[in-house]
Homo-oligomer: A and B are copies of this chain.
Amino acid sequence: MAGSSIGNIFRITTWGETHGRGVGVVVDGVPAGLALNEEDIQKYLNRRKPGQSKFVTARKESDLVEIYSGIFEGKTTGTPISLAVMNTNQRSKDYSALMDIYRPGHADYTFDMKYGFRDYRGGGRSSGRETIGRVAAGAIAAKILKEMGIEILTYSKAIGGIGIDMDRFDKEEINNNPFYMPDAQAAKQVEEYASKMIEEMNSIGGVVECRVNGLPAGLGDPVFEKISANLGKAMLSIGATKGFEIGDGFAVADSNGAINNDNFYMDEEGKIAKRTNHSGGTLGGMTDGSELVFRTAFKPTPSIARPQETVNRQKEDTVIEIKGRHDPIIVPRAVVVVEAMAACTILDALLMNMTARLDKIVEFYK
């Protein structure tokens, strides 16, 4: 079953396993005329490697992206853009220890159940390296959005139960700490807690928040193609995600209508605005012109060094000890992946939305 594509008009198709020849993406439906080079994409990809701290794996990943097609004289041509990050050194490391054993919290068992066998080297297709293709595609989408005045801000909202304090929210701080948190104090606390968890051979989860500004009202569709539904699918398609919420999210369940309804009013510029934004920028599945805000929950890294009870392919109980360095927190690397998937989803909605009104279509073709 073909499950490696997402998007309708702006559609991405990713490929590759962590220990194969490389990973990549074909980005189709990119409008013609965008100035684009490898540097645009590389900058975005580099955000997957925060801080080179002990909280992300130390292994060298050069991750140099190459553009194979779709660009001519520095501009997109409208034809598919093929991007790849090839593995420079194909690691000869012995993964045979993992061949027959099912790591708890990983997809080893489910891969075997679905396909009969699996590429057991480092998670294969389910590795975090699968997100390279997503991020490369997102770099293109984000560049187009920027040309349209749409800005996306993404950061860690909470890690290991330590949340940012909105009173201390500092956009500039995001790139100053290895956790992409907009609150230096919270980042400091996370650092201490994470260090402790590493010592205990444990791992922690967190929440990524994304905010989008500059969107026109009316993006998305009232029924199945709600922008909230498509953002939800995009986020939940990222590995290790367990939840998605928009606006007040699960908190609405405890709220009431008098509070949760965002009252409209005419602002000083004569524009329709909302007093509050409990909705997170969508009403009835369509953007309402206010800030789009959503959050995604990531589970703790399943690869932990302590011994864990499990079973093997031979259906025997056994104990696994996962060797090697693993990120104790997925969240810092996930921030740019969330942003990339948001950019792709929003761009697709922008393109789809051009066909909503007959008068605008007629005008377009005049």
Contact B359 A33 (CB under 8 A): yes
Which B residue's beta carbon lies closest to that of A223?
Answer: B4
Considering the complex, give the chain B residue whose CB is closest to the CB of A83: B15
Partner of A315, one of B272, B304, B309: B272
Instruction: Check B355 against A31 for contact (C-beta < 8 Å).
Output: yes
A109 to B287 CA separation, bound complex (whole angstroms): 10
Mark out the residues of chain A between 104 and 141 whose CB falls within 8 Å of any chain B CB in the assembled complex: 104-107, 109-111, 113-119, 124-126, 130
Residues of B within 8 A of A68 (CB): 15-16, 20-22, 24, 84, 86
With both beta carbons as reference points, the residue of chain B lying nearest to A237 in the complex is identified as B229
Tell me whether A266 and B311 are in contact (CB under 8 A). Answer: yes
A111-B222 in contact (CB<8A): yes
**CB of A332 closer than 8 Å to a CB of B:** no
From A54-62, A169-177, A184-192, A249-257, the one touching the partner chain is A249-257
Are A205 and B260 within 8 A (Cβ)?
Answer: yes
Instruction: Assess A351 versus B361: contact at CB under 8 Å? Given A242-B247, A284-B110.
Output: yes
Copies assembled = 4
Q: Which of B5, B22, B130 contacts A11 (CB 8 A)?
A: B5
* Interface: A154 (CB within 8 A): no
Q: Is A178 an interface residue (CB 8 A)?
A: no
Residue numbers in B under 8 Å from A311 (CB-CB): 264-266, 272
Query: Residues 341-366 of chain A: 1 if any B CB is under 8 Å from the residue's CB, otherwise 0?
Result: 00000000011111111111110110
Interface centre among A202, A242, A298, A350 (most CB of B within 10 A): A242
Complex CA gap A28/B356 in Å reads 11
Chain B residues, Cβ within 8 Å of A204: 255-257
A264 vs B320: C-alpha distance when bound (angstroms):
11
Q: List 19 A-B contacts (CB under 8 A).
A: A1-B9, A15-B81, A17-B69, A31-B356, A78-B357, A110-B284, A111-B284, A125-B223, A147-B358, A159-B253, A160-B254, A161-B254, A205-B260, A228-B242, A239-B284, A253-B297, A257-B302, A260-B300, A354-B364
Q: Which 10 A-B pairs have the closest CB atoms?
A: A107-B284, A3-B221, A114-B218, A243-B245, A3-B225, A203-B257, A2-B29, A233-B233, A113-B217, A32-B115
Extra contacts, 19 of them, besides A32-B358, A113-B286, A205-B256 (Cβ < 8 A), are: A2-B7, A5-B5, A9-B352, A15-B68, A32-B116, A68-B84, A77-B125, A78-B357, A79-B222, A105-B257, A107-B222, A114-B217, A115-B218, A160-B256, A202-B257, A255-B299, A257-B303, A261-B308, A265-B309
